[in-house]
A and B are shown apart, each in its own frame.
Chain A
């Protein structure tokens, strides 16, 4: 076991391999306040990557309703239960056990083996809310009955459990972008990654008899484009880019800005110790204790930041760049009421107004001689 630095839990931890950070790290930020569970991302992924045999129930990208939805069934509560109760005090490093530190001596990580059936109800729990809605109920803030949508891909973790658990070393993390891949020519389908990945993003294909997982749309990323789930997001809730560790963070990098500078977006279940690279702007009206379990003690700070957005034109501008280009934004700036994104060569790729100009349309259209209907 090597000692490696995990900034998400703010301490050193044990991992089977030495710390070796890639040149840059693939990452996505999701604004959970805006996801509508339209599943366009899921289908964009499915039609691109998993339409073949043995992939019928395979969703590298899925969107589940929290707290009750989960694909595969109950993955989150089962992992948390296996790891056991752990403490994480606010403003302190996480001193509880990670899945690597809590592992049985015969195993690489605390994990569970999902059953075949567990993958067959991807919409389980959809739109179920926590609490019973009774007659006369009305909305209060924060919501006493709540749910939110959680879109998920592989997190291309800095310390992947899938990679750690593979005795064939058939899983590797790319030096150039941190994308974690299962070598489709070497995997023998032992299913160790399926068992070890706490997020359950490594999946078994019974037709090819080997495991598969989200590839981060690496062919697009290599060309400077964001993954299909990001490009096609209807709610414009996603942005993919490259994140630096906090000690190398650059304020004009969209991912660094959201995660490190503003603390608006947080990794999910960071206490598991993988340093996952999908980050969430938490839903501000959901139950705080649930959110703290999922996003750690910094979640209250992130919610505060989101609620103060109206006074922050830079963050506002950046959130507007989400979903406004298919290309990967390497640098952004917000100036004179415009938010602009730049590519790797620092050429401008997109520019959007922070505040849309107000257009007033008269109720009666003189030219057509018709009353305007407000149908969008």
Chain B
């Protein structure tokens, strides 16, 4: 109960906006931030906020305990793009693959529209949120291509798949990828999960279990795992038409989620911020 009490107070605090002593602050920098990475010098001067996360408490199934208690966040913008640097401890790098292996991931969430922010847990009907969801699995795709079966199971020896013959004979050159993929249900149905990924998905949601991926989104993300820690940069345009809009000088809100794949975190099993955090774009 206390948890909800706190989050309600924070939302009210938001309505009576006054420059808070906590929250994420994005200062303006002169360099372009669109392709900035976690090692860039410009981060040195950016203000860091330590954000507390807790095991997602509402939707079932949910994690039994908080796997990621804290993330450290910095932000900078260049007038048209904004970059967020997230850092959190994760003892094992997980990129998913076969059954039961899940990916590390992180997400940023922003309200769509002005006024009081929507419910923190992925919005509500008529009160959408705009999510930027990065997965280590997607980044692996971007770097190495989407895995083939023989990447996932190096010792397997499939003899033939429908429309994919070792010796196509007279059919050589006549069967296109589209024909082959009719036999891959997820692909044939156009499920974004089944395609090669750039690293980050942009998603609109109106409550738990309602999210849909936005096509042709141009946000970027790049994570680096080293010595038990992820450093992840997600960059997005300040303004996204139909989506969330960030403006220098206007108060805004954001929220975070982190998944640790090796701890079986996926979907609703995640650590999240329990309330909206003020975001100040300077």
A48: shortest Cβ distance to chain B, in Å? 11
Of all chain A residues, the one with the shortest Cβ separation from B213 is A188
Chain B residues within 8 Å of A119, by CB: 99
With A and B bound together, what is the CA distance between A270 and B212 in angstroms? Answer: 36
Cβ contacts A182-221/B at 8 Å (1 or 0 each): 0111111111101000000000111111101000000000
A53 at the interface (CB under 8 A from B): yes
B47 at the interface (CB under 8 A from A): no
Chain B count of residues within 8 A CB distance of the other chain: 40
8 Å CB contact of A52 from B99, B162, B191, B193: B162
Asked whether A190 lies within 8 Å of B186 as measured between CB atoms, the reply is: no
Asked whether B186 lies within 8 Å of A205 as measured between CB atoms, the reply is: yes
8 Å CB contact of A190 from B156, B185, B212, B267: B267
B278 at the interface (CB under 8 A from A): no
Chain B residues within 8 Å of A107, by CB: 60-61
B70 at the interface (CB under 8 A from A): no
Chain B residues within 8 Å of A174, by CB: none
B97 at the interface (CB under 8 A from A): yes
Asked whether B99 lies within 8 Å of A116 as measured between CB atoms, the reply is: yes
Of all chain A residues, the one with the shortest Cβ separation from B208 is A167
Chain B residues within 8 Å of A106, by CB: 60-64
Asked whether B191 lies within 8 Å of A191 as measured between CB atoms, the reply is: no
Asked whether B161 lies within 8 Å of A51 as measured between CB atoms, the reply is: yes
A-B contact count (CB 8 A): 116
Chain B residues within 8 Å of A210, by CB: 185-186, 191, 193-194
A54 at the interface (CB under 8 A from B): yes
Chain A count of residues within 8 A CB distance of the other chain: 40
Interface centre among A54, A183, A191 (most CB of B within 10 A): A54
Asked whether A184 lies within 8 Å of B149 as measured between CB atoms, the reply is: no
A360 at the interface (CB under 8 A from B): no
With A and B bound together, what is the CA distance between A107 and B158 in angstroms? Answer: 37
B:62-102 near A, CB below 8 Å: 62-64, 96-100, 102
Chain A residues within 8 Å of B97, by CB: 206
B71: shortest Cβ distance to chain A, in Å? 22
Main secondary structure, interface of B, reads: loop
A23 at the interface (CB under 8 A from B): no
- Decide yes or no: A165 and B61 within 8 Å by CB, A208-B194, A209-B186 being known contacts: yes
- Decide yes or no: A185 and B267 within 8 Å by CB, A53-B149, A194-B99, A210-B194 being known contacts: no
- Decide yes or no: A108 and B61 within 8 Å by CB, A56-B149, A188-B267 being known contacts: yes
With A and B bound together, what is the CA distance between A35 and B172 in angstroms? Answer: 43
Asked whether A204 lies within 8 Å of B186 as measured between CB atoms, the reply is: no
Asked whether B185 lies within 8 Å of A184 as measured between CB atoms, the reply is: yes
A222 at the interface (CB under 8 A from B): no
Cβ contacts A158-193/B at 8 Å (1 or 0 each): 000000011111100000000000011111111110
B13 at the interface (CB under 8 A from A): no
Cβ contacts B205-228/A at 8 Å (1 or 0 each): 000111110000000000000000
Chain A residues within 8 Å of B162, by CB: 51-52
Chain B residues within 8 Å of A192, by CB: 61, 267
- Decide yes or no: A167 and B100 within 8 Å by CB, A51-B161, A190-B266 being known contacts: no
- Decide yes or no: A115 and B100 within 8 Å by CB, A167-B208, A192-B61 being known contacts: yes
Asked whether A116 lies within 8 Å of B100 as measured between CB atoms, the reply is: yes
- Decide yes or no: A206 and B152 within 8 Å by CB, A115-B100, A167-B209 being known contacts: yes
- Decide yes or no: A56 and B99 within 8 Å by CB, A165-B61, A191-B266 being known contacts: no
Cβ contacts A89-133/B at 8 Å (1 or 0 each): 000000000000000101110000111100100000000000000
With A and B bound together, what is the CA distance between A165 and B268 in angstroms? Answer: 11
Asked whether B185 lies within 8 Å of A205 as measured between CB atoms, the reply is: yes
Asked whether A52 lies within 8 Å of B211 as measured between CB atoms, the reply is: no
Chain B residues within 8 Å of A208, by CB: 184-187, 191, 193-194
- For the complex with contacts A107-B61, A208-B194, 11 further pairs of A-B residues with Cβ separation under 8 Å are A53-B148, A56-B156, A165-B61, A167-B60, A167-B267, A169-B209, A184-B189, A184-B191, A191-B102, A207-B184, A209-B193
- Residues of B bordering A, CB below 8 Å: 59-64, 96-100, 102, 137, 148-149, 152, 156, 158, 161-162, 183-191, 193-194, 208-212, 264, 266-268
